[in-house]
Structures are given as C-alpha cells and as structure tokens.
Structure 1
Amino acid sequence: MLETDARDRVIVALDCDRERSLELAHELSGHAAWLKVGMTLYYAEGPEIVKTFKDLGFKVFLDLKFHDIPHQVRGAARSASLAGADLLSVHGLGSGAMLAACREGAEEAREDRAKLVAITVLTSMNQDALSEIGVESPVAEEAARLAKLAQANGIDGIVCSPMEAHDMREL
C-alpha cells in the first residue's frame, strides 16, 4: 500500500449551512485535505460552494448520489466536475448504462477527471429495508453485486458499510 499523507485519509462531512461550513473549513485548514459537500449544502449554495472550498485549498467530495436516466447522470457528472469537484458519488442501483454515463460525463469535463464512487447499499438500510424495496438478497450479497457492476462500468471505488468493508477489499 502506498504511503499517503494522513490528511488525505479522512474526509470531513460538512452537513451544515454555509456559515458553519466556512467556519469549519477555516478551522480545518492545514489539518484536513478533504471536505464532503452533501445535498443539503450543495442545493442551498450551488456550485459556488465547491469553488469556495477549492479556493481555500481543499479537495472536495461532492456527495450527491446521482441516480437518474443515463443522459441526466452524464450531464450532472459533467457539471459537477466543471464546478471543481475531485470526487463524485453515484448510486450503484442505477444500472450499468447509468454508471458508464457518469464516468463519460466526468471525462468530458476535464482531462484530470473527478474520481467516482458508487454507493452500494445505503448504510442506513438493513435487510428489512432492502426487502421493502423488493431486494431479497442479503445486504452483503447485494453490496458485492453492485460493487462488481460499478467496477465493470469504470467506477473508481465504492461506498459500503463497515460490515461489508473487509469483503469488498477481498472482492
């Protein structure tokens, strides 16, 4: 395994409003390299919040969990990449075509395209929640299936619960 700066091993989630996120960014400057911008902050502030954090010297994980028809996901990945995001999330459940379109959109935006991670099974979901939406396979099996689909369609990594992390490394 390559040695990496400890600051690159943690992504700090800014699940708060603009004012608090800027306070935290200033406090974290020099201590953390990555900030996560989720839906709440991004939808309130738009692409400008990504640029703001980039200008402060941070790498940005834009965690919007794209999940739509391939054409829309391609455009969303392109736009998010143009905003400066370094890492983007996409739902693995959206199909191989949607995952491939996500990668294509990121590639269209910049030569040094944003990296992509696919969400396997949301960490808030258990077996009952999966069954409720018609997925009867065990959580670990579903996570593995979606991880393989993501890999087959050019996605760089996955997001899974700690319960599946060991098996995903093996996979």
Structure 2
Amino acid sequence: MNRKLIAAIDTPDLARARDLIAQVAPHCGLVKLGLEFFLHHGPMGYRRAAEGVPVFLDLKLHDIPNTVAGGVRALLDLAPKLLTIHAQGGARMVAAAAEAAAQLGPERPKILAVTVLTSLGAPDLAEMGVTGEVSAQVLRLARVALENGADGLVCSAHEIAALRAEFGARRLLVVPGIRPTGTALGDQTRVMTPEEAVAAGADYIVVGRPITGAPDPGRAAAEIAASVA
C-alpha cells in the first residue's frame, strides 16, 4: 500500500464502485468518492461501497456559510477522512465548515479547500472576470482558506512549489490531474506524472481513469503506487 495514492472511483454504478475499491484499496491510502456517485446512492451507497476503507469524499461544498456548515455536520456520521469545499465560498464559509467538522473531535474529517479546478486555465478564468495567472488566483484562494481553518488544499501539481514556498510544509496538499506517462489527458489541462507531483511536494496524488479505465485496475494502482514509493 502507498499512502500517497488516492484512487478516484468516479462511477455512478454501485456494483462497479465496490468491485473497483476491492481491487485498488490494497495499493492506496484512500479511495475517492465524488459528487456523481454520492448523488446516485447517498449515504447508504457510500457505506456499502466504503466498508471500512478510508475515503476522500469529494463533494466540493459551496453555498452560504450556514448551509455548508449544515452539510458538513450531515456528513460526519460517514466519517470520511478528507472532505472538500470550494475556497471561492469565502472566509466565512470556510470557517463555518471547519467549525462544523471540529464537532467530531480528533476523528473529524480534514477540510480541504479547492482552489482552481485542474480543468481550468487562464482563458477560462478570464471569461469569469479573473485576470492574471492561474497561480496568482490559487495563492489568493489558498490564503483565504488556510487563514480560516482549512486543513489543506486541493491544487494542481503546477502550484505545489508556490504553495509550499508561501505556506510551508505543514499544509496538506492533495493533487488531482495526475497522469502517468503515456496516458490520455482527458479534460485535465494542468497535469503532472505521479513521480513529478510527489517530488514537487504533494502529500497525496489523485489518479482516476488511468486506474479505473485500465484492463486490470488493481495492477494499474499497484504500478503507480510503486512508482512513488
């Protein structure tokens, strides 16, 4: 098992999710369940899929502070290890999420703030009225999140060095958009290989389709885990 590897189980099919988790869990620190799966199956499906496996629950909560706090409290019984919110929700929303998670005490989920989605580049941000480099927006959102109780960040591998320089080594960095050499980029635009991302300072790398789309997902997970051991 490699604790740095998170396998993204991005499927709405419960049976498929359970099968994939059984294959990849021995090689991963966590598995990721996301919005598509959770909307299809809810807490009951989550419990059936996870069954004792540590989970990164990637819902990217984003609403007014009171609603996000209520959402976090509603998820505490599921005991995910990591839970995402959007940093763009602002300081009060991030603080509300962190305070809600703290109610569970030491076993609480760690709150991760999503900065800029790895599918977005500078032209996409410009369309939304955000000028300048992607990295500048990442740093702005990261500062808001970390100063208001977030445990860490979800970021592109290309922002790891800047975030480490700005905020130090203690902040948890979870990095999606990871593509082993020779695999398709899909809808990701800011990517790195597993080896590059870990060398740059990622605490966790998130790998989806290169694992779940492989003929043998367990073997694919094992090979990626070995590459960053």
Same fold (TM over 0.5): yes
Question: What's the offset of the Cα at 1:170?
Answer: 1.2
State the partner residue of 1:3.
none
**2: CA distance, partners of 1:163 / 1:23:** 32
The question of whether the paired residues in 2 share the 8 Å contact of 1:50 and 1:60 is answered with no
Q: Does 1:166 align with 2:161?
A: yes
More relative contact order in 1 or in 2 (CA 8 Å, sep 6+)?
2
In structure 1, give the amino acid aligned to 2:124: A
**Count of equivalent residues:** 165
Question: What's the offset of the Cα at 1:110?
Answer: 4.7
Please report the TM-score for the alignment, with normalisation by the length of structure 2: 0.68
Question: What's the offset of the Cα at 1:127?
Answer: 0.9
Question: What's the offset of the Cα at 1:29?
Answer: 3.8
State the partner residue of 2:53.
58
Q: Does 1:138 align with 2:146?
A: no
The question of whether the paired residues in 1 share the 8 Å contact of 2:18 and 2:50 is answered with no
Tell me the SS of whatever aligns to 2:15: helix
Question: What's the offset of the Cα at 1:109?
Answer: 4.0
**1: CA distance, partners of 2:163 / 2:21:** 31
Q: Does 1:48 align with 2:44?
A: yes
**2: CA distance, partners of 1:134 / 1:42:** 31
The question of whether the paired residues in 2 share the 8 Å contact of 1:53 and 1:59 is answered with no
Moved >4 Å (runs of 4+): none
Q: Does 1:34 align with 2:19?
A: no
Q: Does 1:147 align with 2:147?
A: no
**1: CA distance, partners of 2:104 / 2:28:** 26
Q: 2:21 aligns with which of 20, 25, 35?
A: 25
The question of whether the paired residues in 1 share the 8 Å contact of 2:17 and 2:49 is answered with no
Aligned residue runs from structure 1 range 30-109, under 5 A: 30-55=26-51, 57-109=52-104
The question of whether the paired residues in 2 share the 8 Å contact of 1:13 and 1:35 is answered with yes
Q: What's the RMSD between the two structures over aligned residues?
A: 1.4
Please report the TM-score for the alignment, with normalisation by the length of structure 1: 0.90
Identical residues among aligned pairs (%): 36
Tell me the SS of whatever aligns to 1:43: helix
Tell me the SS of whatever aligns to 1:122: coil
* Unaligned residue ranges in structure 2 (runs of 5+): 167-229
The question of whether the paired residues in 1 share the 8 Å contact of 2:14 and 2:49 is answered with no
**2: CA distance, partners of 1:110 / 1:77:** 14
In structure 1, give the amino acid aligned to 2:120: M
* Unaligned residue ranges in structure 1 (runs of 5+): 1-5
The question of whether the paired residues in 2 share the 8 Å contact of 1:15 and 1:40 is answered with yes
